[in-house]
Amino acid sequence: MNAADKKRLLREMLFARRFEERCYEAYVERKIGGFLHLYPGQEACVHGVMEAARPGHDYVITGYRDHIHAIKCGSDPKAVMAELFGKESGCSRGRGGSMHIFDAEHRFMGGYALVGGPFPLAAGMAKAIKLKGGDEIAICFLGDAANNQGTFHESLNMASVWQLPVLYVTENNLYGIGTRIDRSTAVQEQYKRACGYDIPAARADGQDIDAVYAAASIAVEHVRSGKGPYLLELMTYRYRGHSMSDAGAYRSKEEQEEWGKRDPIVILRDRLIAAGELSEAEYSALDKEIIANIEEEIVPFAEQSPEPKLEELERYVLAENDPYVKGGVH
Amino acid sequence: MAEIMYWEAIRRAHDEEMARDPMVICMGEDIGVAGGTYKATSGLYDKYGPERVIDTPISENGYTGLGIGASFLGVRPIIEIMSVNFAWLAMDQMFNSAAKVRYMSGGQLEAPVVFRSPGGCAHQLGAQHSARMEKVFMGIAGLRVVTPSNPRQAYGLLKSAVRCNDPVFINEHELMYNMKGEVPDEEYFLPLEGSEIARQGSDVTLFGYNVSVHWCLQAAEELARHGINAEVVDLYALAPLDRKGIRASVAKTHRAVIVEEAEAPVGVGAEVMAIINEECFFELDAPPLRVSAKNVPVPYNRGLEKSAIPNAKDVVSAVLKMFGKS
């Protein structure tokens, strides 16, 4: 990564932060319904990994904390915000919502709301890539708590037996909803769990995008070169509660302050300033520009977009006009 | 038209579809090297190799999810779940991923995957290997459910299911794999929606599906000796059910008996009765009846097991009672 790349990443991460903060406000204003899981604190994870991969080319899948993963893959933030507002112009036509962002065109294969659900789906996409002979890889981003699901173990086993091109990224934010990892998980170092499936793994500082990028570069290269699956654990922290339904009160003030000192955006910003690549003034101008973009372009688009038509409620349940359903094929 | 066994019909459909389209694969426990518990995939491993005929670990939710994920990218997996009882473990992926992905992605993704699994009560397999679970699958929007009662349907439904762009669950039966029947020599596709009249009649409609179609046909022969001409409708498509076919037959016979191997609560019988109510209540000359299994976990003891599951005699008794002849 050169200085220009890093400045772009700073912009992307700051955008992600401001986007999610604006979602929080829209939720409080009741413009967004349902569950809302926000990403602030974890921005370096998806940005660092996808910087080492090929967004829009590699297939990405994740859980319900998915807005920023979609945007990093290339989704239009306007379509993501419109989805949160439940609009027809949303990337899932208002049928998915916050937890089910999809963008097939950019190979963002979705956010799924059953913890651990995407593990085997990612292995399956990798199987498809292998059958088709492409150079893509499948990347699955999930949290540490998902690794306590059976699907984690079943999928890592199959991915290893069949040497599938899949990268599993564990964004270890130390909490499964409100339960801290040491109270739920026997082996807390998640990368060690890959050992049971003979899958190479590494752990990196998920708050430092340079560290994420370096570790992810090795991981992506391993998977893309046909050496089979890989597990990358990124140590990170979410600033907000699990979703809007909790305030994160199960975490001590000291712990939150400690992690707050290692903010991924501040780390990169300060590094760029120290290297003389960025000034304070430039940074605050960038921030203003991002906020203006969200307020003037993204939110108005979501607000002004039409609702889905009620008469289309039953569309997309099944394929339309499938010749093998009603007959007539001989 | 050759007479072949149910398992051979399934095997033939696999073979033809795999030969036609390199994206058709099959996977499941012991289906490759061993050829499948019921031989339905025998010989395919040698012909198509381990990348397309995949022996999976015993990880039902895992390999089912893997097949579904592959289907997002245009692969068409035929996933054999060795026994429908094990499908409970795979239901998260079947229901939450395959059945919902088209809808929750606003039509962007689809899961053209086929799940095949034998259900039903065989011989003294006990409570955890005798489930009849079609009722569970039928309640899931986005999932098609079909259930072949003979080799022709087994072939024609699998052919259609592989090519259909929706996820399809094919409910087979442990006791039917060795059943013989005629299958067209040329390619044949049975539509995934509809029903078939297995026997024409005028006095009462016996609705059956899968193994219970055969009980209905046997019962119809016996009923003929009592002067009752029963029609037998084969509901090979369970989700969605053939409302038009149900209505047409009831409008003709004015009486309905639904025969199911499963327990009555929240089952096919209940659903067909509801459809009759909604579609053609005023055609009825008598309240519809259900012939169902006892609502118990299936017992091991042979006598107890037989008493738990209905048979042709139970169908005859129910119909005679309906006609006031018992």
Per annotation, catalytic residue among B8, B17, B29, B60: B60
Question: What pLDDT, in 10s, does the model give residues B180-224?
Answer: 999 999 999 999 999 999 999 999 999 999 999 999 999 999 999
The CATH number for B196-322, chosen from 3.30.930.10, 3.40.30.10, 3.30.70.2860, 3.40.50.920, is 3.40.50.920
Residue B39 has pLDDT above 80, yes or no: yes
Comparing CB atoms, the residue among A110, A113, A117 nearest residue B109 is A110
Residue B326 has pLDDT above 80, yes or no: no
For testing the chain A interface, which of B23, B73, B76, B244 should be mutated: the one with the most A CBs within 10 Å?
A: B73
Place of tokens 């026994």: B83
Q: What pLDDT shows up at residue B16?
A: 98
CA atoms within a 13 Å half-sphere pointing along the CA-CB vector of B38: 25
| Predicted structure pTM score | 0.97
Residue A162: closest CA among A123, A125, A202, A201: A123
Residue A101: closest CA among A132, A134, A76, A136: A76
Residue B64 has pLDDT above 80, yes or no: yes
- Percent of chain B whose pLDDT exceeds 90: 99
Asked if A199 contacts A159 with a C-beta cutoff of 8 angstroms, the reply is yes
- Pick the residue from chain A with its C-alpha nearest to B66: A124
Q: What pLDDT shows up at residue A247?
A: 78
Q: What pLDDT shows up at residue B129?
A: 95
- Please report the ipTM that was assigned to this predicted complex: 0.97
Asked if A63 contacts A127 with a C-beta cutoff of 8 angstroms, the reply is no
Q: What pLDDT shows up at residue A183?
A: 95
Q: Sort strands B168-173 and B144-146 into parallel, antiparallel or unpaired.
A: parallel
- Pick the residue from chain B with its C-alpha nearest to A308: B106
Comparing CB atoms, the residue among A95, A124, A330 nearest residue B65 is A124
Separation in Å, CA of A65 to nearest CA in chain B = 16
A56: left (phi over 0), alpha (psi -120 to 50) or beta: left
Vertex B225, ends B224 and B228: CA angle to 5°? 40
Separation in Å, CA of A196 to nearest CA in chain B = 15
Out of A32-36, A325-329, B316-320, which region has the weakest mean confidence (pLDDT)? A325-329
Same fold, B2-183 and B196-322: yes
Q: Cα–Cα distance between B53 and A285 in angstroms, integer?
A: 58
For testing the chain A interface, which of B54, B55, B56, B66 should be mutated: the one with the most A CBs within 10 Å?
A: B66
Domain ranges of chain B: 2-183, 196-322
Q: Cα–Cα distance between B278 and B241 in angstroms, integer?
A: 13
Q: What pLDDT shows up at residue A330?
A: 64
Query: Is B134 noted as a catalytic residue in this protein?
Result: no
Q: How far apart are the first and last CA of chain A?
A: 57
Residue A328 has pLDDT above 80, yes or no: no
Comparing CB atoms, the residue among B68, B107, B191 nearest residue A93 is B107
- Pick the residue from chain B with its C-alpha nearest to A313: B103
Beta strands in chain B (DSSP E): 2-5, 24-28, 53-55, 76-80, 114-119, 144-146, 168-173, 180-183, 196-199, 204-208, 230-234, 237-239, 256-263, 289-293
The radius of gyration computed from the CA coordinates of chain A, to the nearest angstrom, equals 20
Q: What pLDDT shows up at residue A245?
A: 81
Question: What does each C-alpha distance from B38 to A329, B28, B79, B117, B277 come to in angstroms?
Answer: 29, 12, 14, 11, 39
Per annotation, catalytic residue among B16, B110, B129, B222: B129
Query: Tokens in use for A106?
Result: 């950019």
Query: Is B226 noted as a catalytic residue in this protein?
Result: no
CB-CB under 8 Å, B65 with A120: yes
CB-CB under 8 Å, A91 with B164: no
Domains of chain A: 3-326 (3.40.50.970)
Q: Cα–Cα distance between A244 and B82 in angstroms, integer?
A: 42
Residue A167 has pLDDT above 80, yes or no: yes
Query: Tokens in use for B282?
Result: 């005023």
Separation in Å, CA of A318 to nearest CA in chain B = 6
Comparing CB atoms, the residue among B69, B93, B144 nearest residue A122 is B69
Q: Sort strands A175-176 and A179-180 into parallel, antiparallel or unpaired.
A: antiparallel
Asked if B268 contacts B260 with a C-beta cutoff of 8 angstroms, the reply is yes
Residue B14: closest CA among B30, B27, B26, B29: B26
Spell out the residues 6+ positions from residue A232 whose beta carbon is closer than 8 angstroms to its own.
A49, A167, A168, A169, A170, A191, A201, A202, A203, A204, A215, A216, A219
Asked if B228 contacts B202 with a C-beta cutoff of 8 angstroms, the reply is no
Spell out the residues 6+ positions from residue B183 whose beta carbon is closer than 8 angstroms to its own.
B1, B2, B3, B4, B9, B12, B151, B152, B155
- Going by pLDDT thresholds of 50, 70 and 90, the confidence category of residue B105 is very high
Q: Provide, as residue numbers in chain A, all residues whose Cβ is less than 8 Å from the Cβ of B69.
A: 61, 120-128, 138
Query: Tokens in use for A218?
Result: 């090795």
Residue A162 has pLDDT above 80, yes or no: yes
For testing the chain A interface, which of B92, B104, B113, B244 should be mutated: the one with the most A CBs within 10 Å?
A: B104
Which value, to the nearest 10 degrees, does the dihedral of the CA atoms of residues A108, A110, A115, A120 take? Answer: -70
Q: What pLDDT shows up at residue A249?
A: 84
Q: Cα–Cα distance between A137 and A78 in angstroms, integer?
A: 27
Size of interface A-B (CB pairs under 8 A): 182
Q: Cα–Cα distance between A330 and A250 in angstroms, integer?
A: 63
Q: Is B304 helix (H, G, I), strand (E, B) or coil?
A: helix
Q: Provide, as residue numbers in chain A, all residues whose Cβ is less than 8 Å from the Cβ of B61.
A: 120, 150-151, 154
Architecture of domain B2-183: 3-Layer(aba) Sandwich (3.40)
CB-CB under 8 Å, B74 with A128: yes
Q: Cα–Cα distance between B254 and B231 in angstroms, integer?
A: 11
Question: What does each C-alpha distance from A17 to A11, A32, A96, A243, B51 come to in angstroms?
Answer: 10, 17, 22, 16, 43
